[in-house]
């Protein structure tokens, strides 16, 4: 009976933690997709100065906020996003609009992949 109670408690804690991570990473990735979309709009409007300023803010907050998720989740995607933020910065500095938009799309897809890899659904169980 005692073992059953321990197993039940650990199962409840494990499921609760899973839902917390899924909801938290969902909010985190949605927030950064929205921020990157704002940068994308600046670039499409040829407003590269505002894009550069927004990118600096987003990149700095990314480096601060990724830390807890970096420790819990597969960090390869986080490294890839950081790399493409750096390439995006260089693309904006050189006024290479197509390369900048390409890197924005890569960042958005990678954020989506982070969220998809952590979802708790039948596709990831089977």
User: What confidence tens digit (pLDDT) does each residue in 2-60 have?
Assistant: 888 899 999 999 888 888 888 888 899 999 999 999 999 999 999 999 999 999 999 99
Structure tokens that stand for 19 in this block: 């839902």
Question: In sequence order, what are the residues at sequence separation of 6 or more whose Cβ sits closer than 8 angstroms to the Cβ of residue 19?
Answer: 120
Please say if the pLDDT value at position 126 is more than 60: no
d(CA 34, CA 61): 14
Please check whether residue 48 is in contact with residue 42, taking contact to mean a CB–CB distance below 8 angstroms. Answer: yes
Please say if the pLDDT value at position 87 is more than 70: yes
Average pLDDT, the chain: 88
**Quick one: pLDDT band at residue 124, thresholds 50, 70, 90?**
low
Phi, psi of 33 (to 5 degrees): -65, -40
Question: In sequence order, what are the residues at sequence separation of 6 or more whose Cβ sits closer than 8 angstroms to the Cβ of residue 101?
Answer: 40, 43, 44
Question: For the residues 89-118, what does the mean pLDDT come to?
Answer: 91
d(CA 7, CA 62): 37
- Looking at residue 39, its pLDDT comes to 95
- Looking at residue 55, its pLDDT comes to 94
- Looking at residue 122, its pLDDT comes to 63
Please say if the pLDDT value at position 103 is more than 90: yes
């Amino acid at each position: 009976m005692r073992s059953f109670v321990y197993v039940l408690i650990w199962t409840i804690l494990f499921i609760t933690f899973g839902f917390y991570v899924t909801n938290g990473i969902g909010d985190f990735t949605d927030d950064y997709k929205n921020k990157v979309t704002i940068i994308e709009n600046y670039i499409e409007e040829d407003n590269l100065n505002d894009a550069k300023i927004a990118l600096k803010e987003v990149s700095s907050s990314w480096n601060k906020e990724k830390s807890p998720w970096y420790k819990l989740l597969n960090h390869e995607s986080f490294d890839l996003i950081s790399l493409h933020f750096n390439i995006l910065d260089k693309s904006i500095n050189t006024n290479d609009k197509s390369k900048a938009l390409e890197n924005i799309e890569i960042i958005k897809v990678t954020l989506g992949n982070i969220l998809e890899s952590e979802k708790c659904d039948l596709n990831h169980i089977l």
